[in-house]
């Protein structure tokens, strides 16, 4: 199989480096200083178990890659509207596209069934640019449960975790999912196949929609938010509203809000991805993590007062940070 990591940032470069190290035919598509460093020196991965270097193929343009069997979308959700229309040169008749984005993915309601079948979320897929470029039948969903960071161009620091759950949107256990999972497992990752990926997405959204925007507004770590009674109450209110939205869609969450909060406290003094992006001057994944949930809440008739308040404040923070980020 021929693999492409389209958007080889911290997560994509980590997956690609592990696959290249295991001997798979994998190409990393990147740009800027990170691209140049990987072209010259490959990818250096630093882990607690030991460092390793890998030499995957590196591409500066998608039209030089050609059709592949599997594309991993390695950019963050707000980068997909720009990337998706450019994927045409790498999409063959049988190419599978694996989404790795946090939050509610653009494909969530494709083949959903019932009243919400085919619903497009404007905050995630503005104007339908993603769904028109990537046919629904190509999509395999995934949820990434590991944390990585680019510490220098061409250098990826693995922080924690090694699991990436895969799943067909229709819940079937397909041959293509099995083959992708086998490749990831052979590369040293855990890759379970979930028949209930949509349910699993909401478990992660439960934390992402609450901890992420509040952390950006307060600059607090997970432990600090949980241990502050007033802030923890805000977190809990958001989680209750998010859970109510998921129930409206018929989703069952296999974890309670108390368990989700306790799990965050165990992680400790960790900064959320949204806070890390804010501090680094990068765009925040606000729409996929929070805006999409608010949009669904509006569709199903739930008010979501706490979530909407925090979302509005975080959105203004993001807008006010742009001039500083560009200086």
List, by residue range, all CATH 3.40.50.720 domains of the chain: 2-195
Which of the four CATH numbers 3.60.20.40, 1.20.120.80, 3.90.1150.10, 3.40.50.720 does domain 2-195 have?
3.40.50.720
Q: What's the gap between Cα 270 and its chain centre?
A: 18
- Counting every residue written for the chain, the total comes to 327
Task: Specify the pTM.
Answer: 0.93
* pLDDT tens per residue, range 127-147: 999 999 999 999 999 999 988
* Predicted pLDDT at 326: 43
Report whether 54 contacts 45 (CB < 8 A).
yes
pLDDT value of position 270: 85
Tokens of 259: 């368990």
* Candidate list 46, 204, 271, 315, residue with the active-site label: 204
Kindly report, as residue ranges, where domains of CATH 1.10.1040.10 are found in the chain: 198-317
Q: What is the pLDDT of residue 159?
A: 87
Cα of first residue to Cα of last residue in the chain, in angstroms, is 44
Q: Please check whether the domain covering 198-317 is classified as CATH 1.10.1040.10.
A: yes
pLDDT lower than 70: segments of the chain: 322-327
Catalytic-residue membership of 204: yes
For position 23, what pLDDT does the model report?
97
Amino acid 79: pLDDT: 94
Long-range contacts of 251-256 (CB under 8 A, 24+ apart): 251/198, 251/199, 251/202, 252/199, 253/199, 253/202, 253/203, 253/206, 254/199, 254/203, 255/203, 255/206
Which pair of tokens denotes residue 289?
A: 């993590």
75 is written with which tokens? 């950019």
pLDDT reported for residue 267? 84
Residue 33 CA to residue 173 CA, distance in Å, equals: 40
State residue 322's pLDDT score. Answer: 65
d(CA 232, CA 238): 10
Tokens representing 108?
Answer: 């969530």
Q: In terms of C-beta distances under 8 Å and separation of at least 24 residues, what long-range contacts does 79-82 make, across chains too?
A: 79/7, 80/106, 80/125, 80/130, 81/125, 81/126, 81/127, 81/129, 81/130
- Residue 266: the pLDDT is 87
- For residue 96, give the DSSP letter: E
Distances (CA, A) of 241 to 19, 184, 279, 321: 39, 35, 28, 28
Please report the beta strands in the chain, taking only residues with DSSP state E, as ranges in sequence order.
2-6, 25-29, 43-46, 52-54, 57-59, 68-73, 91-99, 139-152, 155-167
Residue by residue, DSSP assigns 208-259 as HHHHHHHHHHH---HHHHHHSHHHHHHHHHHHHHHHHHHHHTT---SS-HHH
């Amino acid at each position: 199989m021929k693999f492409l990591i389209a958007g080889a940032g911290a997560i994509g470069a980590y997956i690609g480096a592990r696959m290249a190290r295991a001997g798979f035919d994998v190409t990393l598509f990147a740009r800027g200083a990170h691209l140049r460093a990987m072209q010259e020196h490959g990818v250096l991965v630093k882990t607690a178990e030991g460092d390793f270097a890998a030499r995957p193929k590196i591409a500066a343009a998608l039209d030089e890659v050609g059709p592949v069997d599997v594309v991993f979308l390695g950019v963050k959700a707000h980068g997909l509207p720009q990337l998706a229309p450019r994927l045409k040169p790498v999409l063959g008749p049988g190419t599978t596209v694996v989404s790795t984005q946090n939050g509610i993915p653009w494909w969530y309601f494709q083949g959903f069934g019932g009243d919400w079948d085919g619903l497009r979320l404007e905050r995630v897929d503005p104007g339908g640019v993603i769904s028109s470029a990537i046919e629904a039948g190509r999509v395999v969903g995934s949820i990434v449960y590991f944390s990585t960071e680019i510490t220098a161009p061409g250098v990826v620091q693995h922080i924690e975790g090694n699991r990436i759950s895969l799943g067909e949107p229709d819940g079937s256990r397909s041959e293509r999912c099995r083959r992708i999972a086998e490749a990831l497992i052979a590369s040293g990752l855990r890759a379970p196949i979930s028949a209930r990926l949509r349910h699993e997405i909401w478990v992660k959204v439960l934390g992402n929609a609450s901890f992420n925007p509040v952390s950006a507004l307060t600059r607090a770590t997970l432990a600090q938010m949980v241990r502050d009674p007033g802030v923890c109450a805000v977190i809990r209110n958001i989680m209750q509203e998010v859970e109510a939205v998921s129930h409206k869609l018929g989703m069952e969450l296999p974890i309670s809000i108390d368990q989700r909060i306790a799990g965050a406290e165990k992680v400790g003094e960790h900064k959320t991805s949204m806070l890390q992006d804010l501090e680094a001057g990068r765009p925040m994944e606000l729409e996929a993590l929070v805006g999409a949930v608010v949009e669904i809440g509006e569709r199903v008739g739930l008010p979501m007062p706490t979530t909407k308040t925090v979302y509005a404040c975080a959105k203004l923070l993001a807008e006010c940070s742009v001039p500083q980020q560009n200086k």
